[in-house]
Amino acid sequence: MESFRFSDKVNDIQPGIFAALNQKKEELLAQGRTVYNLSVGTPDFQPAGHIMRAMQEACGNPDNYKYALDDLPELVEAVRYRYQKRFQVELEKDEIMSVYGSQEGMAHIGLVFCNPGDTILVPNPGYPIFEMSGVMAGARIETYKIEEKNGYLPDLKNIPEELLERAKYMIVSYPLNPVCVCAPDEFYEELILFAKKNHIIILHDNAYSDIIFTRTQGRSFLSFDGAREVGVEFYSLSKSYNLTGARISFVVGNREIISRFKALRSQIDYGIFLPVQYAAIAALTGPDDFIETQRQEYAARNKALCGGLRQIGWNVPDSQGTMFVWAKIPEGYETSLSFCMELMDKTGLIVTPGSAFGSEGEGYVRMALVVNEEKIAELLRVLKESDIFQKDRL
Ligand SMILES: Cc1ncc(COP(=O)(O)O)c(C=O)c1O
Protein backbone atom coordinates (compact mmCIF):
# COMPACT_ATOMS: atom_id res chain seq x y z
CA MET A 1 0.00 0.00 0.00
CA GLU A 2 1.08 3.52 -0.75
CA SER A 3 2.44 5.41 2.21
CA PHE A 4 -0.07 7.49 4.18
CA ARG A 5 -0.04 11.21 3.52
CA PHE A 6 0.71 12.93 6.81
CA SER A 7 0.54 16.62 7.61
CA ASP A 8 3.52 18.90 7.08
CA LYS A 9 3.51 19.55 10.84
CA VAL A 10 3.93 15.90 11.66
CA ASN A 11 6.42 15.36 8.88
CA ASP A 12 8.50 18.20 10.29
CA ILE A 13 8.86 16.49 13.67
CA GLN A 14 12.34 15.00 13.92
CA PRO A 15 13.27 12.30 16.44
CA GLY A 16 15.95 14.80 17.42
CA ILE A 17 18.80 14.92 19.80
CA PHE A 18 17.09 13.17 22.69
CA ALA A 19 16.59 9.98 20.69
CA ALA A 20 20.32 9.91 19.84
CA LEU A 21 21.25 10.47 23.50
CA ASN A 22 18.87 7.78 24.62
CA GLN A 23 20.22 5.25 22.18
CA LYS A 24 23.74 5.93 23.38
CA LYS A 25 22.62 5.64 27.00
CA GLU A 26 21.03 2.24 26.30
CA GLU A 27 24.28 1.08 24.67
CA LEU A 28 26.29 2.11 27.73
CA LEU A 29 23.87 0.40 30.12
CA ALA A 30 23.99 -2.77 28.03
CA GLN A 31 27.78 -2.71 28.46
CA GLY A 32 27.27 -2.54 32.24
CA ARG A 33 28.61 1.03 32.47
CA THR A 34 27.53 3.47 35.21
CA VAL A 35 25.62 6.43 33.81
CA TYR A 36 24.95 9.79 35.46
CA ASN A 37 21.85 11.11 33.77
CA LEU A 38 21.74 14.90 34.08
CA SER A 39 19.84 15.34 30.84
CA VAL A 40 16.24 15.41 32.05
CA GLY A 41 14.52 17.86 34.36
CA THR A 42 12.62 15.36 36.47
CA PRO A 43 13.19 16.08 40.18
CA ASP A 44 14.55 13.18 42.22
CA PHE A 45 12.69 14.49 45.29
CA GLN A 46 9.41 12.92 46.39
CA PRO A 47 6.05 14.62 46.67
CA ALA A 48 5.13 15.50 50.26
CA GLY A 49 3.13 12.87 52.17
CA HIS A 50 0.01 15.02 52.55
CA ILE A 51 -0.18 15.47 48.75
CA MET A 52 0.08 11.76 48.05
CA ARG A 53 -2.47 10.98 50.77
CA ALA A 54 -4.97 13.41 49.26
CA MET A 55 -4.54 11.72 45.89
CA GLN A 56 -4.86 8.22 47.40
CA GLU A 57 -7.98 9.12 49.34
CA ALA A 58 -9.61 10.67 46.29
CA CYS A 59 -8.75 7.59 44.25
CA GLY A 60 -10.81 5.50 46.72
CA ASN A 61 -14.00 7.40 45.92
CA PRO A 62 -15.83 6.06 42.84
CA ASP A 63 -17.45 9.46 42.23
CA ASN A 64 -14.02 10.86 41.41
CA TYR A 65 -13.78 8.83 38.21
CA LYS A 66 -16.43 10.87 36.42
CA TYR A 67 -15.66 13.63 33.96
CA ALA A 68 -14.53 16.54 36.09
CA LEU A 69 -15.74 19.03 33.44
CA ASP A 70 -14.29 22.01 35.30
CA ASP A 71 -11.90 23.04 38.03
CA LEU A 72 -13.31 22.34 41.50
CA PRO A 73 -14.24 25.58 43.30
CA GLU A 74 -11.85 24.49 46.10
CA LEU A 75 -9.06 24.19 43.56
CA VAL A 76 -9.61 27.71 42.27
CA GLU A 77 -9.69 28.92 45.88
CA ALA A 78 -6.46 27.01 46.55
CA VAL A 79 -4.69 28.85 43.69
CA ARG A 80 -5.99 32.18 45.03
CA TYR A 81 -4.70 31.26 48.48
CA ARG A 82 -1.30 30.24 47.14
CA TYR A 83 -0.82 33.34 44.99
CA GLN A 84 -1.76 35.52 47.92
CA LYS A 85 0.51 33.71 50.37
CA ARG A 86 3.45 33.11 48.10
CA PHE A 87 3.43 36.15 45.80
CA GLN A 88 1.13 38.62 47.57
CA VAL A 89 -0.99 38.66 44.40
CA GLU A 90 -4.79 38.86 44.67
CA LEU A 91 -6.46 36.81 41.94
CA GLU A 92 -10.15 36.69 41.09
CA LYS A 93 -11.81 33.38 40.28
CA ASP A 94 -12.16 34.21 36.60
CA GLU A 95 -8.44 34.90 36.36
CA ILE A 96 -7.51 31.24 36.98
CA MET A 97 -7.70 28.04 34.95
CA SER A 98 -5.96 24.67 35.07
CA VAL A 99 -4.05 22.96 32.26
CA TYR A 100 -2.48 19.52 32.01
CA GLY A 101 0.92 20.95 32.78
CA SER A 102 2.40 24.15 31.37
CA GLN A 103 3.71 22.10 28.48
CA GLU A 104 0.21 21.16 27.31
CA GLY A 105 -1.14 24.63 28.08
CA MET A 106 1.59 26.25 25.99
CA ALA A 107 1.02 23.80 23.15
CA HIS A 108 -2.56 25.04 22.86
CA ILE A 109 -2.44 28.69 23.83
CA GLY A 110 -1.13 29.79 20.45
CA LEU A 111 -4.53 28.83 19.03
CA VAL A 112 -6.14 31.53 21.18
CA PHE A 113 -4.18 34.32 19.51
CA CYS A 114 -2.85 33.23 16.15
CA ASN A 115 -4.24 32.68 12.73
CA PRO A 116 -1.91 30.82 10.37
CA GLY A 117 0.90 33.16 9.37
CA ASP A 118 0.69 35.40 12.44
CA THR A 119 3.93 36.04 14.28
CA ILE A 120 5.07 35.12 17.78
CA LEU A 121 8.26 36.03 19.62
CA VAL A 122 10.25 33.51 21.65
CA PRO A 123 13.73 33.53 23.19
CA ASN A 124 16.69 31.85 21.51
CA PRO A 125 17.92 29.84 23.31
CA GLY A 126 14.71 28.86 25.06
CA TYR A 127 12.63 25.95 26.24
CA PRO A 128 11.35 24.15 23.11
CA ILE A 129 7.62 24.30 23.91
CA PHE A 130 7.76 28.11 23.60
CA GLU A 131 8.31 27.76 19.89
CA MET A 132 5.88 24.86 19.64
CA SER A 133 3.07 27.09 20.95
CA GLY A 134 3.26 28.94 17.65
CA VAL A 135 4.00 25.93 15.47
CA MET A 136 0.76 24.27 16.59
CA ALA A 137 -1.19 27.35 15.52
CA GLY A 138 0.59 27.65 12.17
CA ALA A 139 2.24 30.88 13.30
CA ARG A 140 5.54 32.30 12.14
CA ILE A 141 8.17 31.90 14.82
CA GLU A 142 10.51 34.82 15.33
CA THR A 143 13.16 34.67 18.00
CA TYR A 144 14.48 37.44 20.16
CA LYS A 145 18.11 37.41 20.96
CA ILE A 146 19.37 36.92 24.48
CA GLU A 147 23.07 37.04 25.11
CA GLU A 148 25.33 36.11 27.97
CA LYS A 149 26.89 39.58 27.96
CA ASN A 150 23.44 41.13 28.61
CA GLY A 151 22.56 38.69 31.37
CA TYR A 152 20.42 36.79 28.84
CA LEU A 153 17.80 39.55 28.94
CA PRO A 154 16.21 40.73 25.69
CA ASP A 155 17.18 44.17 24.46
CA LEU A 156 13.61 45.43 24.20
CA LYS A 157 14.62 48.77 22.71
CA ASN A 158 16.33 47.12 19.78
CA ILE A 159 13.72 44.66 18.58
CA PRO A 160 13.01 45.76 14.99
CA GLU A 161 9.90 47.93 14.62
CA GLU A 162 8.61 45.76 11.80
CA LEU A 163 8.70 42.71 14.08
CA LEU A 164 6.93 44.53 16.88
CA GLU A 165 4.09 45.41 14.53
CA ARG A 166 3.65 41.79 13.53
CA ALA A 167 4.10 40.03 16.87
CA LYS A 168 0.96 38.78 18.60
CA TYR A 169 2.60 37.53 21.74
CA MET A 170 5.99 37.21 23.32
CA ILE A 171 6.99 34.39 25.63
CA VAL A 172 9.16 35.45 28.55
CA SER A 173 10.38 33.20 31.34
CA TYR A 174 12.76 33.81 34.24
CA PRO A 175 14.47 31.97 35.84
CA LEU A 176 15.01 30.81 32.26
CA ASN A 177 15.48 27.21 31.24
CA PRO A 178 18.10 26.50 29.83
CA VAL A 179 20.32 29.52 30.54
CA CYS A 180 19.62 29.57 34.29
CA VAL A 181 19.47 33.32 34.89
CA CYS A 182 16.94 35.44 36.78
CA ALA A 183 15.58 38.81 35.67
CA PRO A 184 15.71 41.89 37.89
CA ASP A 185 12.46 43.62 38.88
CA GLU A 186 13.24 46.58 36.60
CA PHE A 187 13.18 44.26 33.63
CA TYR A 188 9.57 43.30 34.30
CA GLU A 189 8.60 46.94 34.77
CA GLU A 190 10.13 47.77 31.39
CA LEU A 191 8.54 44.68 29.79
CA ILE A 192 5.04 45.71 30.84
CA LEU A 193 5.48 49.21 29.43
CA PHE A 194 6.91 47.70 26.24
CA ALA A 195 3.94 45.31 25.92
CA LYS A 196 1.43 48.13 26.38
CA LYS A 197 3.16 50.41 23.91
CA ASN A 198 3.47 47.76 21.21
CA HIS A 199 0.23 45.87 21.88
CA ILE A 200 2.07 42.62 22.41
CA ILE A 201 0.65 40.03 24.79
CA ILE A 202 3.10 38.62 27.33
CA LEU A 203 2.99 34.94 28.26
CA HIS A 204 5.19 34.48 31.30
CA ASP A 205 6.33 30.97 32.18
CA ASN A 206 7.09 30.79 35.89
CA ALA A 207 8.04 27.11 36.19
CA TYR A 208 11.00 27.81 38.49
CA SER A 209 9.81 30.49 40.89
CA ASP A 210 10.64 28.18 43.79
CA ILE A 211 14.10 27.17 42.58
CA ILE A 212 16.10 30.33 42.72
CA PHE A 213 19.55 30.98 44.16
CA THR A 214 20.05 34.74 43.92
CA ARG A 215 17.44 35.45 46.55
CA THR A 216 15.31 33.27 48.76
CA GLN A 217 12.04 33.72 46.88
CA GLY A 218 11.21 34.16 43.22
CA ARG A 219 8.43 36.49 42.14
CA SER A 220 5.34 36.27 40.00
CA PHE A 221 4.96 38.32 36.82
CA LEU A 222 1.55 39.27 38.17
CA SER A 223 3.07 40.98 41.17
CA PHE A 224 4.15 43.84 38.88
CA ASP A 225 1.76 46.73 38.23
CA GLY A 226 -0.10 46.42 34.96
CA ALA A 227 0.94 42.80 34.30
CA ARG A 228 -2.55 41.40 34.09
CA GLU A 229 -3.51 44.04 31.56
CA VAL A 230 -0.95 42.62 29.17
CA GLY A 231 -0.85 38.90 29.73
CA VAL A 232 -0.93 35.72 31.73
CA GLU A 233 1.45 33.56 33.72
CA PHE A 234 1.93 29.80 33.58
CA TYR A 235 2.29 28.45 37.10
CA SER A 236 3.39 24.81 37.20
CA LEU A 237 3.14 22.47 40.16
CA SER A 238 5.64 20.08 38.56
CA LYS A 239 8.92 21.30 39.99
CA SER A 240 7.88 23.10 43.18
CA TYR A 241 5.89 20.10 44.43
CA ASN A 242 7.62 17.23 42.55
CA LEU A 243 4.43 16.41 40.68
CA THR A 244 5.79 16.20 37.15
CA GLY A 245 3.80 13.07 36.33
CA ALA A 246 0.49 14.32 37.75
CA ARG A 247 0.23 16.90 34.94
CA ILE A 248 -1.33 19.91 36.56
CA SER A 249 -0.46 23.56 36.19
CA PHE A 250 -2.36 26.82 35.98
CA VAL A 251 -2.72 29.79 33.70
CA VAL A 252 -3.46 32.93 35.68
CA GLY A 253 -3.88 36.59 34.87
CA ASN A 254 -5.81 38.50 32.23
CA ARG A 255 -9.45 37.40 32.50
CA GLU A 256 -10.27 37.94 28.84
CA ILE A 257 -7.45 35.63 27.79
CA ILE A 258 -8.50 33.07 30.43
CA SER A 259 -12.11 33.18 29.25
CA ARG A 260 -11.14 32.66 25.58
CA PHE A 261 -8.69 29.92 26.45
CA LYS A 262 -11.32 28.16 28.55
CA ALA A 263 -13.79 28.36 25.67
CA LEU A 264 -11.25 26.76 23.35
CA ARG A 265 -10.44 24.03 25.83
CA SER A 266 -14.12 23.27 26.41
CA GLN A 267 -14.02 21.82 22.88
CA ILE A 268 -11.14 19.46 23.53
CA ASP A 269 -11.15 18.63 27.23
CA TYR A 270 -13.44 17.35 30.00
CA GLY A 271 -11.43 18.55 32.96
CA ILE A 272 -8.54 17.28 35.04
CA PHE A 273 -8.94 13.89 36.79
CA LEU A 274 -10.47 14.71 40.18
CA PRO A 275 -7.86 12.89 42.33
CA VAL A 276 -5.22 15.07 40.67
CA GLN A 277 -7.29 18.15 41.51
CA TYR A 278 -7.51 17.03 45.15
CA ALA A 279 -3.75 16.44 45.25
CA ALA A 280 -3.21 19.94 43.87
CA ILE A 281 -5.52 21.43 46.53
CA ALA A 282 -3.47 19.67 49.21
CA ALA A 283 -0.24 20.93 47.64
CA LEU A 284 -1.38 24.54 47.33
CA THR A 285 -2.96 24.84 50.75
CA GLY A 286 -0.87 22.44 52.86
CA PRO A 287 2.43 22.85 54.70
CA ASP A 288 5.12 24.15 52.39
CA ASP A 289 8.36 24.23 54.37
CA PHE A 290 9.67 21.37 52.18
CA ILE A 291 9.83 23.84 49.26
CA GLU A 292 12.48 25.90 51.07
CA THR A 293 14.37 22.76 52.17
CA GLN A 294 14.35 21.62 48.57
CA ARG A 295 15.50 25.00 47.30
CA GLN A 296 18.44 24.82 49.68
CA GLU A 297 19.29 21.31 48.48
CA TYR A 298 19.25 22.49 44.84
CA ALA A 299 21.45 25.42 45.87
CA ALA A 300 23.94 23.06 47.55
CA ARG A 301 24.02 20.85 44.44
CA ASN A 302 24.50 23.91 42.24
CA LYS A 303 27.47 24.97 44.32
CA ALA A 304 28.92 21.46 44.48
CA LEU A 305 28.59 20.83 40.75
CA CYS A 306 29.68 24.22 39.38
CA GLY A 307 32.42 24.71 41.98
CA GLY A 308 33.65 21.15 41.44
CA LEU A 309 33.69 21.54 37.67
CA ARG A 310 35.66 24.79 37.94
CA GLN A 311 38.21 23.02 40.13
CA ILE A 312 38.82 20.37 37.51
CA GLY A 313 39.19 22.88 34.71
CA TRP A 314 35.71 23.50 33.29
CA ASN A 315 34.75 27.11 33.78
CA VAL A 316 31.04 26.78 34.57
CA PRO A 317 29.22 29.72 36.19
CA ASP A 318 26.93 29.10 39.15
CA SER A 319 23.31 28.85 38.14
CA GLN A 320 21.07 31.72 39.34
CA GLY A 321 17.90 29.64 39.22
CA THR A 322 16.01 26.67 37.64
CA MET A 323 17.03 23.10 38.36
CA PHE A 324 19.78 23.29 35.74
CA VAL A 325 23.30 24.50 35.04
CA TRP A 326 24.31 26.03 31.68
CA ALA A 327 27.89 25.63 30.55
CA LYS A 328 29.98 26.57 27.54
CA ILE A 329 31.55 23.46 26.06
CA PRO A 330 35.28 23.17 26.69
CA GLU A 331 37.71 24.25 24.00
CA GLY A 332 38.55 21.77 21.30
CA TYR A 333 35.03 20.45 20.67
CA GLU A 334 33.19 21.41 17.54
CA THR A 335 29.55 21.08 18.48
CA SER A 336 27.62 20.63 21.67
CA LEU A 337 26.30 17.30 20.39
CA SER A 338 29.77 15.92 19.60
CA PHE A 339 30.94 17.04 23.06
CA CYS A 340 27.92 15.35 24.70
CA MET A 341 28.57 12.11 22.83
CA GLU A 342 32.25 12.04 23.77
CA LEU A 343 31.45 12.99 27.37
CA MET A 344 28.95 10.17 27.62
CA ASP A 345 31.28 7.69 26.03
CA LYS A 346 34.24 8.54 28.23
CA THR A 347 32.54 9.24 31.55
CA GLY A 348 28.93 8.01 31.46
CA LEU A 349 27.74 11.57 32.16
CA ILE A 350 24.66 12.44 30.10
CA VAL A 351 23.93 16.13 29.53
CA THR A 352 21.77 17.93 26.99
CA PRO A 353 23.37 19.69 24.03
CA GLY A 354 22.53 23.39 23.96
CA SER A 355 21.52 23.09 20.32
CA ALA A 356 18.31 21.37 21.52
CA PHE A 357 17.21 24.83 22.74
CA GLY A 358 17.72 26.79 19.54
CA SER A 359 20.57 27.88 17.28
CA GLU A 360 22.00 30.21 19.95
CA GLY A 361 22.32 27.28 22.33
CA GLU A 362 25.02 25.73 20.15
CA GLY A 363 28.34 25.68 21.99
CA TYR A 364 26.69 25.06 25.36
CA VAL A 365 25.28 22.15 27.35
CA ARG A 366 22.62 21.95 30.03
CA MET A 367 22.97 19.79 33.14
CA ALA A 368 20.10 19.01 35.51
CA LEU A 369 20.64 19.15 39.27
CA VAL A 370 18.86 15.85 39.78
CA VAL A 371 21.45 13.86 41.71
CA ASN A 372 22.56 14.41 45.30
CA GLU A 373 25.89 15.85 46.43
CA GLU A 374 27.38 12.41 46.98
CA LYS A 375 26.69 11.43 43.39
CA ILE A 376 27.99 14.81 42.23
CA ALA A 377 31.27 14.13 44.06
CA GLU A 378 31.44 10.71 42.39
CA LEU A 379 30.83 12.05 38.89
CA LEU A 380 33.39 14.81 39.46
CA ARG A 381 35.97 12.11 40.28
CA VAL A 382 35.09 10.24 37.09
CA LEU A 383 35.39 13.47 35.06
CA LYS A 384 38.71 14.33 36.65
CA GLU A 385 40.15 10.94 35.81
CA SER A 386 39.04 11.22 32.17
CA ASP A 387 40.92 13.28 29.59
CA ILE A 388 37.81 15.21 28.66
CA PHE A 389 39.23 18.63 29.62
CA GLN A 390 42.68 18.10 28.15
CA LYS A 391 43.09 20.11 24.99
CA ASP A 392 45.65 17.66 23.63
CA ARG A 393 43.39 14.63 24.15
CA LEU A 394 42.93 14.10 20.41
C1 LIG B 1 10.50 26.39 31.35
C2 LIG B 1 9.58 25.23 31.49
N3 LIG B 1 8.29 25.40 31.27
C4 LIG B 1 7.42 24.39 31.37
C5 LIG B 1 7.85 23.13 31.70
C6 LIG B 1 6.85 22.02 31.76
O7 LIG B 1 6.16 22.09 32.92
P8 LIG B 1 4.88 21.17 33.16
O9 LIG B 1 5.36 19.93 33.83
O10 LIG B 1 3.98 22.02 34.02
O11 LIG B 1 4.27 20.88 31.83
C12 LIG B 1 9.18 22.89 31.95
C13 LIG B 1 9.66 21.54 32.29
O14 LIG B 1 10.81 21.21 32.33
C15 LIG B 1 10.08 23.97 31.84
O16 LIG B 1 11.38 23.80 32.04
206 lines ligand 1 (CB under 6 A): no
Q: Is 293 left (phi over 0), alpha (psi -120 to 50) or beta?
A: alpha
Kindly report the protein residue whose alpha carbon is nearest to atom 15 of ligand 1.
207
205 CB under 6 A from ligand 1? yes
Is the pLDDT confidence value at 388 over 90? no
Q: Is the CB of 238 under 6 A from ligand 1?
A: yes
pLDDT (mean) for 37-51:
95
Could you tell me what percent of the chain has a pLDDT over 70? Answer: 98
State what percent of residues in the chain have pLDDT above 90. 90
DSSP assigned state of 319:
P
- Rounded Cα distance between 58 and 277, Å, is 9
Task: Note the CATH architecture for domain 49-285.
Answer: 3-Layer(aba) Sandwich (3.40)
Closest residue to atom 3 of ligand 1, CA basis:
207
Integer Cα distance of 131 and 124 in angstroms:
9
Judged by average pLDDT, the poorest of 121-130, 212-221, 262-271, 276-285 is: 212-221
Q: What is the DSSP string of 70-118?
A: S--HHHHHHHHHHHHHHH-----GGGEEEESHHHHHHHHHHHHH--TT-
42 C-beta closer than 6 A to ligand 1? no
Distance of alpha carbon 164 from alpha carbon 154, whole angstroms: 13
Q: What does the mean pLDDT of the chain come to?
A: 95
pLDDT over 80 (residue 352): yes
Give the per-residue pLDDT at 2.
67
Q: Which tops the pLDDT comparison, 218 or 325?
A: 325
Residue 242: CB within 6 Å of ligand 1?
Answer: no
Distance CA 89, CA 279 (A): 22
Name the band, by pLDDT with cuts 50, 70 and 90, for residue 24.
confident
pLDDT in tens, 61-98: 999 999 999 999 999 999 999 999 999 999 999 999 99
Report the 10 Å Cβ neighbour count for 280: 29
Helices (H), strands (E): how many in the chain?
14, 12
375 alpha carbon – ligand 1 mean position (Å): 25
Q: What is the mean pLDDT of residues 28-45?
A: 93
Q: pLDDT band for 35, please (50, 70, 90 cuts).
A: very high
**CATH architecture for residues 8-46+289-386:** Alpha-Beta Complex (3.90)
Instruction: State residue 2 phi and psi, 5-degree precision.
Output: -60, 150
Cα(266) to ligand 1 centroid in Å equals 23
pLDDT higher than threshold 90 for residue 251 = yes
Mutate which of 238, 251, 276 for ligand 1? The one with the most ligand atoms within 8 Å of its CB, which is 238
The rounded Å distance from CA 207 to ligand 1 centre is: 6
Asked whether the beta carbons of 77 and 98 are under 8 A apart, the reply is no
Atom in ligand 1 nearest the alpha carbon of residue 322: 16
Top mutation candidate among 236, 237, 272, 276 for ligand 1, by most atoms within 8 Å of CB: 236
Instruction: Kindly tell me the burial class for residue 13, based on how many C-beta atoms sit within 10 Å of its own C-beta (0-12, 13-18, 19 or more).
Output: exposed
- Kindly give the pairing relationship between strand 364-368 and strand 324-328: antiparallel
Residue 185: pLDDT band with limits 50, 70, 90: very high
Distance of CA 379 to the CA centre of its chain: 25
Nearest residue (by CA) to ligand 1, atom 6, is: 103
User: 249 has which bridge partners?
Assistant: 99, 236
CA of 236 to the centre of ligand 1 (A): 7
Return the ligand 1 atom nearest residue 173 CA.
Answer: 1
User: What is the arithmetic mean of pLDDT over 298-304?
Assistant: 98
pLDDT at 393 over 60: no
Phi, psi values for residue 154, rounded to 5°: -70, 150
> Which pLDDT score is estimated for 158?
93
Position 12 confidence tier, pLDDT thresholds 50, 70, 90: confident
Q: Is the pLDDT of residue 319 over 60?
A: yes
Tell me the C-alpha to C-alpha distance, in Å, between residue 69 and each of 123, 197, 253: 34, 38, 21
Protein residue with its CA nearest to atom 2 in ligand 1: 207
For ligand 1, mutation pick of 127, 133, 146, 366 (most atoms within 8 Å of CB): 127
277 CA distance to ligand 1 middle (Å): 18
Query: Given this model, what pLDDT does residue 142 score?
Result: 97
Query: Could you tell me which residue, 19 or 135, shows the higher pLDDT?
Result: 135
Q: What is the pLDDT of residues 256-278, one digit of tens each?
A: 999 999 999 999 999 999 999 99
Q: What are the domain boundaries of the chain?
A: 8-46+289-386, 49-285
pLDDT tens column, 96-120: 999 999 999 999 999 999 999 999 9
Cα–Cα distance, 181 to 23 (Å, whole number) = 31
**pLDDT at res. 13:** 81
Pairwise CA distance, residues 98 & 75, whole Å: 9
